[in-house]
Structure 1
């Protein structure tokens, strides 16, 4: 059952990412989280809402991971975080 929930979360995350790409929008953890929040506001199915919330938690975890690495770099300008950490995820 857990595997099915993970798959649904992955599918929803992919749907949000693809919707950003189709619009030629900037792809960052912030824009992906905003799109997932938009999905959450519109979703009526309770199970999908739970999967969207799981995707938002995953994005939040990736964001914290990236920021901890970024704090070691002495960059004076903060750029939007790009999503390139998918390889760290358990498949």
Structure 2
């Protein structure tokens, strides 16, 4: 299976999982998506798809853990003054306000 076929299968698997969650009108988040993918993995009879589902679960899990680490780092950075003017001290060249 070449790279584009793997990517397409990955997209199809994620799409199937998300569509099944949408049909149930339940919440959609990473935890629920991973749980649905695990359920799909246990019921899948095709070994190639089962392997692909396991790969998707691992990728999403790694991304989620990485996101949590980055989020904690960003919160630390935001603990101080996090408002910065994009235009320096004054937005207009002559210092007067437009509004």
TM-score normalised per structure 2: 0.68
Residue range with higher mean Cα deviation, 20-29 or 36-45? 20-29
1:20 maps to 2:21: yes
> RMSD between aligned alpha carbons?
1.3
Structure 2 equivalent of residue 77 of structure 1 = none
TM-score normalised per structure 1: 0.74
Structure 1 equivalent of residue 51 of structure 2 = 50
Q: Which runs of 5+ in 1 are unaligned?
A: 75-91
Report how far residue 27 of structure 1 moved. Answer: 0.7
Q: Which runs of 5+ in 2 are unaligned?
A: 77-99
Q: Which has the higher contact order (CA 8 A, sep 6+)?
A: 1
Paired residue total: 74
Structure 1 equivalent of residue 89 of structure 2 = none
